[in-house]
Amino acid sequence: MLYLILISSAVFLSIYPDPIGVGMGNSGVANPGIWSLYYNPAGISFVKKPEFITVNFPTPPSLSYLTGKILIETFSGNKEDIYPDWLPGLWNEMYLRWFGGVYPVNKSLSIGFSYTYLTTGTTEVYIDTFNIYKFINYDECTSFSISYKSPLNHDLFISTGVNVKRVFSFLAPDWLVKRIFPESGGGGSDETYTMDFGIIINFMQNAFVAGLSFNNIFGELKYFKNGKPEYLVKTVRYGLTFNPLRVFELYAEKEIKHYLKNYSLKISFENTKYNENENAFFKNAETWTSWGIELGVFDFFYVRYGHFEDKIGERIGDTKGIGFNFKVFQVDVANDGDIYSFSTSNYRLSWILKPYENLNLRNKRIKMFITSASISLFPGAPQFLRNDKLKGFIFSTASFLCFYGWKNSLPQSKKKRTYGTLLIASYVLSLFENIYHYLK
């Protein structure tokens, strides 16, 4: 098991994290949204409001999560995470986490960030007959994004975007690598930096969208001090998205336009050039193909279906997904387990948090009560609900980072207490800021 881990590279960078793209056959390069943080950084400039997304966290960092975890531990004795696993049919301890946020600075410029974490769980190494050493290997990627769009005319926009990424991979402790592979000189972990670059052409207000992105343009990881470096996996994604109902809506009669606004239909096609063995995008690259469909009803319910093919990797099959939009937050789930040659499920579950502009209540105290009660969802929810976008984005982002730090810190450590204190403070500050807003 240790040998298999040590010869692996940062292939986790090619794992599709979000249920929107996964539900549509793993196609997202030409489908702008907050999920563009992964597929194509140029797409985040089409996000109109601040948004925050978490994937494979059943709830945001919230009282509902903490309450649910306490109840499960109390009545079932199960202290395991209540999260969907990644490929449970292959290995029962693997899980993938992804979260990110986008903030539109103005109508043309947007900035964002994202974080990816993958672990295969606990690895056991027999030191001798009586001693077993256990450790958890993991990969992580922290990314910061910027995107700018400009109009070429009234119906045509072009957008470019860049991701700057730090990639860290911990496969085994240095002393263990030296002990098992003395000729290696040690190692077992490394970090590097890389970039993504993307372009999107958007015609007739999302009726036709073309996308192209180059991912992990440079960078390498060296797991053995005396070994050769391994290049980061490189991908080139290019695709098209067509929204036929949007075309009909632009040219239809007034009565039909009103009817068509209640529905949306997206059809996406995408090709991916994948290369993990060469320091090049196209030389000896594999080709992945995908297509997907999304049907939306009343901007509330979405159903998605797609197909994905990676013939060399023997991943061929259909993907499925659904989503519900509740204005201030959106829930989406998808499963691409059918693309694998072995029996497994492979779910992605996401929450997208965003401001809500239509809380039309005349009574100020009722407004204060409703917005303050939303703190049970996550810090920043009261601010999002009253459409204070910047404060909502700051509170929600800060609280989630504290939550993630708290969860991944050692029990009873100073670091865990610090993160826990900051997480509680984010709830208190978000609540009291909202109350002060209405009482001042």
Read off the pTM: 0.83
Which segments in the chain show pLDDT lower than 50?
1-8, 76
- Tell me which residue of 396, 399, 364, 402 sits closest to 381, measured CA to CA: 396
> For residue 100, what is the enclosing H or E element?
strand 95-104
The domain boundary, picked from 314, 335, 354, lies at 354
Per-residue confidence (pLDDT) for residue 2, from 0 to 100? 46
Whether residue 245 sits in one domain with residue 303: yes
The domain boundary, picked from 288, 323, 354, lies at 354
Q: Are 208 and 242 in contact (CB under 8 A)?
A: yes
Say how many CA atoms lie within 13 Å of 376 toward its Cβ. Answer: 7
Whether residue 326 sits in one domain with residue 239: yes
Whether residue 312 sits in one domain with residue 363: no
Whether residue 116 sits in one domain with residue 23: yes
Whether residue 375 sits in one domain with residue 331: no
Whether residue 371 sits in one domain with residue 235: no
Q: How far is CA 105 from CA 115, 155, 399, in A?
A: 21, 22, 21
Whether residue 96 sits in one domain with residue 222: yes
Distance CA 404, CA 419 (A): 9
Q: Burial letters for 356-377: b for 16+ Cβ neighbours within 10 Å, e otherwise? A: beeeeeeeeeebbeebbebbeb
Whether residue 425 sits in one domain with residue 337: no
Q: What is the dihedral of CA 123, 128, 131, 135, to 10 degrees?
A: -20
The CATH number of residue 12's host domain is 2.40.160
Say how many CA atoms lie within 13 Å of 23 toward its Cβ. Answer: 22
Per-residue confidence (pLDDT) for residue 415, from 0 to 100? 85
Whether residue 228 sits in one domain with residue 208: yes
Q: Which long-range contacts (CB under 8 A, 24 or more apart) does 245-252 make?
A: 246/204, 246/205, 246/206, 246/207, 247/204, 247/207, 250/204, 250/205, 250/207
Token pair belonging to 257: 């336009």
Q: Are 141 and 165 in contact (CB under 8 A)?
A: yes
The domain boundary, picked from 334, 354, 374, lies at 354
Domain range for 214:
2-354
Whether residue 403 sits in one domain with residue 330: no
> Helix (H, G, I), strand (E, B), or coil: what is residue 298?
coil
- Tell me which residue of 264, 319, 244, 265 sits closest to 289, measured CA to CA: 319
Domains held by the chain: number? 2
